[in-house]
């Protein structure tokens, strides 16, 4: 399979407002794509469109070879880590209980989940959290919780992984190691990853492709090219100045 | 104690206490996890409007009350979803309107309604075989629903967005949970009355929540607290001149306070 996501002139309205328009963009299998853009730009909405959770007003969207009208068919092959951690932090679940939530789908209604423990263990191990299975989720550090949530989005062995600001609130070393983990998962499992983040530095260092969304797609391409685009210079002035002092080699390929 | 069990009304009361104890503590588990406590209080007060409607029209007040309770619970969920308003806000409106309707109906149809006092404050000692049947049916229906969809309901309480992204029928399941809550409230009104029922669907879960780090133990503890509270209250009211409803709620409060006090000792 060549292109896992293909959007052409994609437009989405929410609450009567145009949130996305004219998004033309594609993602090849096995790529890690960083998505950047200011707050309210429509990044989360774009991920929700790929999941089939918002209605598409115009344009075309193909995901895993299926048009947007039939996204339910491939939903099981998409792993998702939502942005808002809407859940109660003190909820009485163990790390493996949290991962188990990722196994639920219409197919598991009124059924037992097959090989549940084995799949949960494998997912926890793939993010380096094998030892934490029975630990109460609420007692884990922010960085450990993020990894558990990543395991939850991996537990159904998806082909495509959508991560909405997974490294927000982590300190710099934790952000770096989280992105390195994504890089490793991409290579080992052949995963295709869409990573929304405000952290240009770590995203640019791991991404094969960088896309900047602000209602429409402003620039996308190789990180080295996107980072020097005039658009980005305006939008991200202060981070940009910092970036330009970095060795360009680290951002490019 | 054994003498207490020889009375027919006491046997029925104990059975009712057991049924309501199980019912309330099961629902309480979800009420606490999904933070629906205020909704519970709201449903019971709105149900008063339905009960009053039954009393003045001569229809079965339990039936009209059930329709109001389940209707309120589900429309609150529906309105808060489509209007993106919190459940608390919506039920705040229903709460007062239901009470107001009850007051308006009862004062304009001037009659003598001896049942009214029992419905406001509960009267477990007058529970009839028919009441028990209703409670038994409600319990059976709710347990079937909860057992069949337990993992999905838990997921919805924990993280609705993920449940939705996984393709679960979040809306219908949530509505089912709210309907179960409405039925539980009505079934429990017999025991403790409209005014106190909220305690029954909040305290067992809240106590268990304080003491557990895992939902499995929380569920078991919630059941234990709920049953202990309703039995304990019944015993207290048998030996002391306290109405059973008030006694049950007070016993639950004492258990909660003890759990708060004991918790630091449990935590290493
Ligand atoms: N359900 C909705 N109804 C109406 N407008 C919405 C809805 N959801 C999002 N929006 C609007 O759509 C725009 C894009 O929102 P979105 O959450 O996709 O932005 P984002 O790029 O993810 O922002 P952030 O970086 O803050 O997460 C915002 O202006 C937001 O207010
Ligand atoms: Mg967002």
Mean pLDDT value across residues B23-31: 96
Span A54-79, mean pLDDT? Answer: 93
Is the minimum CB–CB distance between A120 and chain B shorter than 8 Å?
no
Locate the ligand 1 atom nearest the alpha carbon of residue A42 and give its number.
Answer: 18
**Cβ contacts of B167 on chain A, cutoff 8 Å:** 72, 75-76, 105-106
Q: How far apart are CA B260 and CA B249, in angstroms?
A: 17
Chain B residues within an 8 Å CB radius of A14: none
Contacts of A71 (CB under 8 A, 6+ apart): A50, A51, A52, A63
In terms of pLDDT, which residue wins out, B121 or A249?
A: B121
- Please give the CATH superfamily to which domain A3-91+158-250 belongs: P-loop containing nucleotide triphosphate hydrolases (3.40.50.300)
Instruction: Give the tens place of pLDDT for each residue, A195-235.
Output: 999 888 888 888 999 999 988 887 777 887 777 777 776 66
| Res A240 pLDDT > 60 | no
Which domains are assigned to chain B?
11-267 (1.10.3470.10)
The answer on pLDDT for B82 being more than 50 is yes
Q: How confident is the model at residue B194 (pLDDT cuts 50, 70, 90)?
A: confident
CA of A56 to the centre of ligand 1 (A): 15
Phi first, then psi, for residue A211 (nearest 5°) are -130, 135
Q: Could you tell me the pLDDT band of residue B76, with boundaries at 50, 70 and 90? A: very high
HSE-up of residue A167 (Cα within 13 Å, Cβ side): 22
Confidence of residue B9 (pLDDT cuts 50, 70, 90): confident
pLDDT at residue A108 in the model: 92
Report yes or no: B91 and B76 within 8 Å, Cβ to Cβ. yes
Helices B170-211, B114-121: crossing angle, 10 deg rounding:
70
CA of A115, closest CA in chain B: separation in Å? 16
Q: What is the band of B1 on the pLDDT scale with cuts at 50, 70, 90?
A: low
CB distance A178 to A205 below 8 Å = no
Q: Residue of the nearest CA to atom 16 in ligand 1?
A: A42
Q: Which of B202, B234, B198 is nearest to B18 (CA)?
A: B234
State pLDDT tens for residues B223-240: 999 999 999 999 999 999
Question: Percent of chain A, pLDDT > 90?
Answer: 61
- At A137 the pLDDT is 92
pLDDT at A244: 57
Q: What b/e sequence results for A161-198 when a residue is b if at least 16 CB atoms lie within 10 Å of its CB, and e otherwise?
A: bbbbbbbeebeeebbbbbbebbbebbeebebbbbbbbe
Question: Is the pLDDT score of A122 beyond 90?
Answer: yes
What's the complex ipTM?
Answer: 0.88
Q: Is the pLDDT of residue A88 over 80?
A: no
Q: How confident is the model at residue A251 (pLDDT cuts 50, 70, 90)?
A: very low
CA torsion B261-B262-B266-B268 (nearest 10°) is 50
- Nearest in space to A93 (alpha carbons), one of B219, B146, B266, B172: B219
Which pLDDT belongs to residue A227? 76
CA neighbor of B109 nearest in space, from B58, B69, B60: B58
Per-residue pLDDT band at B268 (split at 50, 70, 90): very low
Give residue A86's pLDDT.
63
Q: Percent of chain A beyond pLDDT 70?
A: 89
- Euclidean distance between CA atoms A156 and A129, whole angstroms: 17
Looking at residue A253, its pLDDT comes to: 41
Q: Assess contact for A97 and A124: CB atoms under 8 A.
A: no
Looking at residue A167, its pLDDT comes to 84
Tell me how far apart the alpha carbons of residues B43 and B35 are, in angstroms, rounded to a whole number.
Answer: 14
Interface of A with B in 38-97 (CB under 8 A): 51, 53, 72, 75-76, 80, 82, 84, 86-88, 91-94, 97
Decide: A157 and A99 in contact? Cβ < 8 Å. no
pLDDT number for residue B72: 94
- B90, β-bridge pairs: none
Which residues, judged by CB distance below 6 Å to any ligand atom, belong to the binding site of ligand 1? A 14-15, 17, 19, 37, 39-45, 83
* pLDDT tens profile B118-144: 888 888 888 889 889 989 999 999 999
Span A7-42, pLDDT tens digits: 999 999 998 999 999 999 999 999 999 999 889 999
Ligand nearest A45 Cα, by number?
1
- B84 CA: nearest ligand 1 atom: 1
Residues 6+ apart with CB under 8 A from B6: none
A78-81 and A3-14 beta bridge pairing: unpaired
In chain A, alpha helices (H):
43-50, 95-101, 116-126, 142-154, 172-189, 200-206, 223-227, 230-235, 237-244, 248-251
Q: Within an 8 Å CB–CB cutoff, is residue A114 touching chain B?
A: no
Partner residue facing A104 (CB), from B148, B163, B215: B163
Cα B74 off chain centre by: 15
Residue B239 CB partners (closer than 8 Å, separation 6+): none
A8: which 2 tokens? 């052409």
Q: Which whole number is the average pLDDT over A240-246?
A: 56
């Amino acid at each position: 399979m060549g292109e896992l996501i293909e959007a052409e002139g994609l437009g989405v309205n929410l609450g009567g407002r145009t949130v996305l328009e004219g998004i033309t963009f594609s993602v090849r299998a096995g790529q890690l794509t960083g998505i950047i853009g200011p707050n309210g730009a429509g990044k989360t909405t774009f991920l929700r469109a790929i999941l089939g959770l918002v209605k598409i007003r115009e344009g075309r969207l193909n995901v895993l070879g299926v048009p947007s009208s039939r996204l339910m068919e491939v939903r099981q092959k998409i792993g998702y880590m939502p942005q808002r951690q809407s859940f109660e932090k003190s909820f009485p679940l163990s790390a493996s209980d949290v991962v188990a939530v990722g196994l639920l789908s219409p197919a598991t209604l009124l059924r037992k989940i097959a090989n549940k423990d084995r799949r949960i263990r494998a997912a926890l191990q793939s993010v380096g959290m094998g030892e934490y299975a029975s630990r109460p989720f609420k007692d884990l550090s922010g960085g450990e919780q993020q990894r558990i949530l990543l395991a939850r989005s991996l537990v159904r062995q998806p082909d495509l992984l959508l991560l909405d600001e997974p490294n927000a609130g982590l300190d710099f070393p934790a952000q770096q190691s989280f992105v390195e983990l994504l890089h490793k998962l991409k290579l080992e499992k052949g995963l295709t990853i869409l990573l929304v983040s405000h952290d240009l530095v770590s995203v640019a260092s791991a991404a094969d492709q960088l896309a900047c969304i602000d209602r429409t797609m402003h620039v996308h391409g190789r990180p080295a090219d996107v980072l020097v685009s005039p658009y980005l210079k305006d939008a991200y002035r202060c981070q940009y100045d910092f970036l330009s002092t970095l060795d360009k080699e680290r951002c490019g390929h | 104690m054994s003498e207490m069990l020889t009375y027919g009304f006491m046997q029925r009361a104990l059975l009712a206490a057991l049924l309501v104890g199980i019912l309330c503590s099961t629902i309480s588990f979800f009420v606490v996890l999904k933070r629906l406590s205020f909704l519970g209080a709201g449903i019971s007060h709105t149900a008063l409007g339905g009960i009053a409607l039954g009393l003045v029209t001569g229809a079965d007040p339990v039936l009209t009350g059930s329709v109001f309770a389940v209707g309120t619970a589900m429309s609150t969920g529906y309105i808060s979803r489509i209007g993106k308003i919190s459940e608390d806000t919506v039920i705040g409106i229903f709460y007062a309107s239901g009470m107001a309707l009850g007051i308006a109906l009862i004062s304009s149809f001037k009659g003598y309604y001896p049942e009214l006092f029992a419905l406001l404050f509960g009267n477990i000692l007058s529970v009839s075989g028919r009441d028990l049947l209703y409670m038994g049916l409600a319990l059976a229906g709710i347990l079937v629903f909860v057992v069949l969809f337990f993992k999905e309901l838990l997921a919805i309480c924990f993280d609705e967005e993920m449940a939705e992204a996984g393709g679960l029928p979040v809306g219908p399941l949530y509505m089912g949970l709210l309907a179960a809550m409405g039925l539980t409230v009505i079934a429990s009104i017999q025991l403790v009355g409209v005014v106190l029922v909220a305690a029954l669907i909040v305290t067992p879960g809240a106590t268990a929540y304080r003491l557990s780090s895992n939902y499995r133990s929380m569920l078991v503890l919630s059941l234990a607290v709920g049953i202990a509270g309703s039995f304990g209250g019944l015993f207290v009211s048998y030996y002391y001149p306290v109405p059973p409803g008030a006694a049950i709620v007070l016993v639950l409060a004492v258990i909660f306070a003890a759990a708060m006090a004991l918790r630091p000792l449990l935590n290493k």
